[in-house]
Amino acid sequence: METYRTEIPRYFLIHAKISTFINPGLREFNPRYILFQRIAPFQDFDLRSGVQSAKMPKSKRARIVHTSTVQKKPSKEKSASLYAAVRAAADTYSHVFVFNVENMRNAYLKNVRQEFNNDGRLFFGKTKVMANALGLSEEDEHMPGLSKLSGHLKGNVGLLCTDRAPEEVLKFFEEFAEVDFARAGVQAARSFMVPEGVVYSTGGEQPVEDDVPLPHSLEATVRKWGMPTRLDKGKVMLDQEYVVCKESQILDSNQTALLKMFGIAMAEFKVKILAYWSAATQEVTVVDEAAAEGVDVVLDDGMDEMEEG
């Protein structure tokens, strides 16, 4: 059997004048015809049988497979898992709290989780999923009275299920606070300005004898962030006092970068309890009256909408 190697691009129409033509029905040669045949690249073609005698070989190129890659769960599976976990926690623990978070930071929320790790469980996921788990009306509420709590699940809120007494939980969160650097879009807690002259690393917050001048290598960076600085004999200088921010002003990215460089922390991570439900009384107690104004149960079609918000 004679075979010929071809390197023609896939599905090119080959117009080749040869001395024979294969009739698929009679298997006879007819020299009066011209062969038209689609030939795949790099494959052997048998002129006698009229078929391609080999397939494309599989690639032997080495591929890197990262065993540490974590496969993410599909959205519906995550929602269903959260839905079931909230209902199970409501059955297990005697109190369910709705809390609000100001200046959210994952590291500080993790500390709260660890605090209630032994006698509670904290949920900070999709609010519609958690509301559906508690129940949106008296007809579909998981436990009597829980539907009144679902109306508070709006915005940057979460659920805390625990066996601790409400008074103990409220006292803990009143005393718990963490200070961090502000992010763009938040209000400045106070005014901050850098005095004229040599720019120091704390921007004048510390006495000169306890501070060090700002490194000259940062002069271009602070000038990019809006400070009208200049270099004078290797020192970063300001010709006049520069106001970085004013109290209650909405901060932008340049202002937050300057505040962080000077070590000025203005954001306070704070957890505030809005309301809680008790299994013993099957009633909802509102803690923050101002936040509870206008609270209404969010009607939903059910599990189909749980992937949103």
Which secondary-structure segment (H or E) carries 224? Answer: helix 219-224
Do 149 and 228 belong to one domain? no
Amino acid at 283: E
pLDDT at 84: 93
Do 257 and 289 belong to one domain? no
Residue 59 within a domain: no
pLDDT at 288: 75
Run means of pLDDT, 10 residues per run, the chain, 309 residues: 44 42 46 43 48 63 71 78 93 93 90 90 92 90 90 91 93 92 92 94 90 93 94 93 94 95 92 93 83 46 36
Q: How would you class 180 by CB atoms within 10 Å of its CB: exposed for 0-12, middle for 13-18, buried for 19 or more?
A: middle
Q: What is the CATH number of the domain that holds 208?
A: 3.90.105.20
Separation in Å, CA 308 to CA 82, 132, 158? 13, 12, 16
Q: Is there a contact between 228 and 238 (Cβ–Cβ < 8 Å)?
A: yes
Do 280 and 252 belong to one domain? no
Residues 93, 99: Cα–Cα separation, whole Å = 16
The domain tally of the chain equals 3
Do 107 and 168 belong to one domain? yes
Residue 63 within a domain: no
Do 260 and 273 belong to one domain? no
Q: Is there a contact between 127 and 153 (Cβ–Cβ < 8 Å)?
A: yes
pLDDT at 76: 84
What are residue 267's phi and psi, to 5 degrees? Answer: -95, 130
pLDDT at 8: 43
End-to-end CA distance of the chain: 68
Residues 106, 24: Cα–Cα separation, whole Å = 71
Do 219 and 155 belong to one domain? no
Please, which residues bridge with residue 45 across strands? Answer: 4, 52
Which secondary-structure segment (H or E) carries 174? Answer: helix 166-175
Do 225 and 247 belong to one domain? yes
Strands (E), the chain: 3-5, 12-16, 35-39, 44-46, 95-102, 120-123, 157-162, 178-180, 192-194, 197-198, 229-232, 235-238, 242-245, 267-278, 283-286
Token reading at 276: 């809680």
Residue 56 within a domain: no
pTM (whole model) above 0.75 = no
Do 83 and 221 belong to one domain? no
Residues 50, 27: Cα–Cα separation, whole Å = 9
Residue 283 within a domain: yes
pLDDT at 138: 87
Residues 278, 235: Cα–Cα separation, whole Å = 63
Residues 51, 49: Cα–Cα separation, whole Å = 6
Q: Which residue has the tokens 């579909």?
A: 140
Residue 60 within a domain: no
pLDDT at 261: 94
Torsion (CA) 256, 259, 264, 270 in degrees, nearest 10? 0
Structural domain span for residue 36: 3-46
pLDDT at 35: 43
Q: Is there a contact between 202 and 261 (Cβ–Cβ < 8 Å)?
A: no
Residue 20 within a domain: yes
Residues 126, 133: Cα–Cα separation, whole Å = 11
Residue 54 within a domain: no
Do 165 and 290 belong to one domain? yes
Do 102 and 224 belong to one domain? no
Do 199 and 279 belong to one domain? no
For CA atoms 17, 18, 19, 20, the dihedral sign is negative
Q: How would you class 144 by CB atoms within 10 Å of its CB: exposed for 0-12, middle for 13-18, buried for 19 or more?
A: middle
Residue 220 within a domain: yes
